[in-house]
Amino acid sequence: MDPDSEITEKGVLELLCRLGRAMHCMQFSQGLNPAQWEALRYLARANRYSRTPSALAEFLGTTKGTASQTVKALHSKGHVRRRPEPADGRACRLEITETGRAMLHQDPMQDVAAALSSTGLDMVSTAAGLDLLLRGLRANCGPHEFGVCERCRHFCGDDACAEDGGPHRCGLTGEPLSAPETSHICVNFGSCAS
């Protein structure tokens, strides 16, 4: 290995660790902890198939019990409500309340986003590099991949389902998808590369 590249990799690794710690500490705000913030962000971006306690646990990379405690805390603070799943009375869907949506407007990660945009970095290249890093680590942190609906191999676009209540369709479930739903993340995401 080239000595300069080793120094660069170590330097980048150290910066990533410090950045992670800083972002973690910033999230102890507004009466929430980092797991609660992450759960709120997830639920705000998740599609209808993915707003369940099990999908949340998978996304957070935690146990169902830990995710349940996070949901319980958010529910007691009025940020999340549970809705029974019509198809399965034992299951429930999680929804963010207006109070929860208002809380997201105070998300401490907005400060990180502002700092990131002020760096002048090429966001496409930066995102691509971080995505490659995450994909490389996925084997160590769990095989499940979440992704945006419109980039999923199951996505059927181009008015595939216009007559059924949506301009698009999920090829896995066969259900119509509205245009806004296609930008949400999904627990059933299938990478086009897989």
Question: Do 146 and 104 reside in the same domain of the chain?
Answer: no
Question: Do 147 and 87 reside in the same domain of the chain?
Answer: no
CA 47, distance to chain mean position in Å, is 10
Which tokens go with 168? 């698009």
Q: Which domain holds residue 182?
A: 142-194
Whether 70 maps to a domain, the answer reads yes
Question: Do 52 and 91 reside in the same domain of the chain?
Answer: yes
CA 38 to each of CA 18, 46, 144, 147: distance values in angstroms, whole numbers, following the listed order:
19, 12, 17, 16
Confidence of residue 184 (pLDDT cuts 50, 70, 90): confident
120-177 confidence digits (pLDDT tens): 999 999 988 888 887 777 666 655 667 788 888 888 886 555 455 567 888 888 888 8
What is the pLDDT, as a whole number, of residue 1?
53
15-72 confidence digits (pLDDT tens): 999 999 999 999 998 999 999 999 999 999 999 889 999 999 988 888 999 999 999 9
Question: Do 37 and 112 reside in the same domain of the chain?
Answer: yes
85-125 confidence digits (pLDDT tens): 777 667 789 999 999 999 999 999 999 999 999 999 999 99
Q: Is the pLDDT of residue 77 over 50?
A: yes
Name the domain boundary from 117, 150, 183: 117
Based on the structure, what is the number of domains in the chain? Answer: 2
Whether 127 maps to a domain, the answer reads no
Whether 132 maps to a domain, the answer reads no
Whether 146 maps to a domain, the answer reads yes
Whether 150 maps to a domain, the answer reads yes
